[in-house]
């Protein structure tokens, strides 16, 4: 007799047990409900999300180091790595400038702050200092100097990605210079350490639903849903501008590589939802690196482009900063001329590069922009305090997808992308990364591939 189909509750239970996407989605909804119904209790749940982010951040630096060293050593060409870095910086500058321009055009057309007639003298400017902890964005010289490590272990202890990248490039170059015959055990040891780190990431990712629940409950409990009504026009504009930017990214990806951004989003849907819930791109960086490698991007391209993009390619933040600057000007009744808006773009092109890792960096960048124009009161930046956290979802998803597209584009540009494998992975013809629990569901015959193809030695002729 044919076996009867499982009942609906059993199917739902199996999906919840085996699908990280379903678990995170449920946690997201539960977090919103708890934050709305019990706001006081919900605000105490923030440590759950913070704890998960800390665990992930623990392995980011050693993972980036291992991936970059192995990528450079296996590529066997230090000049190619230099070209990848230079092409990545060019792509980052073009993409972030496009995001700034889109934000300014959208804010001019819609006018999200028009008609608010805010008196800046009544705003609490001290709230900005509280949000930024009295910090400041680094100057250009300080930014470059901070990218250079003071000690080998200090770069890892401080989780300074740019410093770790510099160290990884030096170690990879040294391995190429010495050759595998002089240090035959170093590269295999680093590869094994990389496998251990990915295993740790797999363990920590099991806590992702709890992290999303705690972070979302805290967000709704602290700020409430009412703030969305107050700033509805600004919120809708920012998300619509981000959607337009992603459409342009999809077109660019299709033209450069022939790949579909929407299929890629489906491929990393768990990571996108987790980044949404935790408002952190760092929380998904290890998994995204792994998936990019398995989707045909070469190790050195992934290891160099993705971490560098976390500092140089903040597309979502660029959109928010340009829209936020015009929103503030419109709210306090200041008209910015075309030349002043061009100045906004130029200033934000510089200030946005030093934002990564600085507390309250968006407010520091907005304050710096207001000061450079000389016509906006710095205290008016406080207008965005209530809505800033809600913008995190837009920023992190746009930043994440912008950096992933950069990896594919630069990889194709440099000849470091296996386009055939990438299309098969994104089409679902090759199952590259399944959770251990999902093996029981693999009913359809699918091919499974390793992270990197292994070349078998030719048989000896006796």
Locate 384 and state its tokens.
Answer: 């965005």
Q: Residue 196 in contact with residue 65, Cβ under 8 Å?
A: no
Who's near 116: CB < 8 A, 6+ residues apart?
330, 331
Confidence (pLDDT) at 434: 42
Q: How many CB atoms lie within 10 A of CB 446?
A: 12
Determine the straight-line distance between the first and last CA of the chain, rounded to whole angstroms. Answer: 57
Locate 9 and state its tokens.
Answer: 């509750």
* Residues forming a β-bridge with 430: 447
Q: How far is CA 83 from CA 86, 161, 252, 305, in A?
A: 5, 20, 20, 11
- The gap from C-alpha 262 to its chain's centroid, in whole angstroms, comes to 17
Question: HSE-up of 388 (CA within 13 Å, CB side)?
Answer: 19
Who's near 362: CB < 8 A, 6+ residues apart?
317, 320, 321, 324, 355, 384, 388
User: For 117-150, how does the pLDDT look when each residue is reduced to its tens digit (9 = 90+)?
Assistant: 766 665 555 555 555 445 555 566 766 787 788 8
Residues in the chain with pLDDT < 70? Answer: 1-6, 76, 118-140, 142-143, 223-230, 351-364, 368, 371-374, 378-379, 386, 431-462
* Residues forming a β-bridge with 417: 297
Q: Any idea which residue has 């946690």 for tokens?
A: 27
Locate 30 and state its tokens.
Answer: 């539960």
Beta pairing class for 430-431 and 447-448:
parallel
Locate 56 and state its tokens.
Answer: 């992930």
Q: For the chain, how big is the Rg over CA atoms in Å?
A: 23
| SS3 letters across the chain | CCCCCCCHHHHHHHHHHHCHHHHHHHHHHHHHHHHHHCHHHHHHHHHHHHHHHHHHHHHHHHHHHHHHHHHHHHHCCHHHHHHHHHHHHHHHHHHHHHHHHHHHHHHHHHCCCCCCCCCHHHCCCHHHHHHHCCCCCCCHHHHHHHCCCCCHHHHHHCCCHHHHHHHHHHHHHHHHHHCCCCCCCHHHHHHHHHHHHHHHHHHHHCCHHHHHHHHHHHHHHHHCCHHHHHCHHHHHHHHHHHHHHHHHHHHHHHHHHCCCHHHHHHHCHHHHHHHHHHCCCHHHHHHHHHHHHHCCECHHHHHHHHHHHHHHCCHHHHHHHHHHHHHHHHHCCCCCCHHHHHHHHHHHHHHHHHCCCCCCHHHHHHHHHHHHHCCCCHHHHHHHHHHHHHHHHHHHHHHHHHHHHHHHHHHHHHCCECHHHHHHHHCCCEECCCCHHHHHHCCCCCEECCCCCCCCCCCCCC
∠ Cα 229 231 237 (to 5°): 115
Of 285, 296, 410, nearest in space to 356 by CA: 285
Confidence (pLDDT) at 372: 67
Q: At 125, phi and psi to the nearest 5?
A: -70, -25
Confidence (pLDDT) at 353: 63
Locate 433 and state its tokens.
Answer: 């990364």
């Amino acid at each position: 007799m044919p076996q009867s189909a499982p009942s609906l509750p059993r199917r739902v239970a199996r999906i919840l047990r085996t699908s990280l996407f379903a678990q995170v989605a449920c946690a997201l909804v539960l977090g919103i409900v708890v934050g709305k119904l019990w706001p006081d209790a919900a605000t105490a749940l923030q440590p759950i999300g913070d704890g998960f982010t800390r665990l992930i951040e623990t392995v980011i630096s050693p993972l980036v180091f291992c991936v970059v060293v192995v990528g450079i050593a296996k590529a066997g060409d230090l000049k190619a790595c230099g070209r990848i870095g230079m092409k990545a910086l060019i792509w980052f500058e073009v993409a972030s400038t496009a995001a700034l321009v889109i934000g300014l055009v959208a804010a001019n057309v819609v006018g999200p702050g028009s008609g608010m007639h805010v008196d800046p003298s009544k705003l609490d400017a001290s709230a900005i200092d509280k949000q930024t902890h009295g910090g400041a964005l680094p100057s250009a010289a300080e930014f470059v100097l901070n990218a250079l490590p003071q000690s080998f272990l200090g770069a890892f202890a401080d989780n300074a990605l740019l410093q770790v990248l510099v160290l990884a490039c030096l170690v990879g170059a040294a391995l190429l210079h010495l050759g595998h015959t002089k240090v035959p055990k170093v590269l295999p040891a680093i590869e094994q350490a990389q496998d251990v780190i990915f295993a740790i990431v797999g363990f920590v990712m099991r806590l992702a639903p709890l992290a999303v629940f705690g972070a979302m409950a805290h967000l709704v409990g602290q700020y409430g849903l009412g703030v969305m009504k107050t700033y509805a026009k600004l919120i809708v504009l920012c998300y619509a501008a981000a959607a337009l930017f992603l459409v342009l990214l999809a077109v660019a990806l299709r033209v450069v590589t022939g790949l579909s951004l929407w299929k890629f989003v489906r491929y990393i849907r768990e990571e996108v939802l987790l980044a949404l819930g935790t408002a952190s791109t760092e929380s998904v960086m290890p998994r995204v690196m792994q998936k990019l490698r398995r989707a045909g991007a070469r190790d050195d391209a992934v290891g160099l482009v993705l971490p560098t993009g976390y500092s140089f390619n903040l597309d979502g933040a660029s959109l928010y900063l340009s829209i936020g600057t015009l929103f503030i000007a419109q709210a306090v009744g200041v008209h910015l001329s075309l030349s002043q808006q061009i100045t906004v773009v130029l200033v934000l092109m510089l200030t946005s590069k030093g934002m990564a890792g600085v507390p309250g960096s968006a407010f520091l960048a907005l304050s710096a922009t207001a000061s450079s124009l000389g016509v906006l009161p710095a205290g008016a930046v406080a207008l965005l305090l209530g809505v800033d956290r809600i913008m995190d979802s837009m920023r992190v998803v746009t930043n994440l997808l912008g950096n992933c597209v950069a990896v594919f584009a630069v990889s194709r540009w440099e000849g470091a992308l296996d386009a055939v494998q990438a299309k098969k992975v994104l089409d679902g013809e090759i199952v590259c990364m399944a959770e251990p629990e999902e093996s029981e569901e693999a009913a359809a015959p699918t091919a499974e591939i390793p992270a990197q193809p292994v070349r078998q030695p030719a048989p000896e002729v006796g």
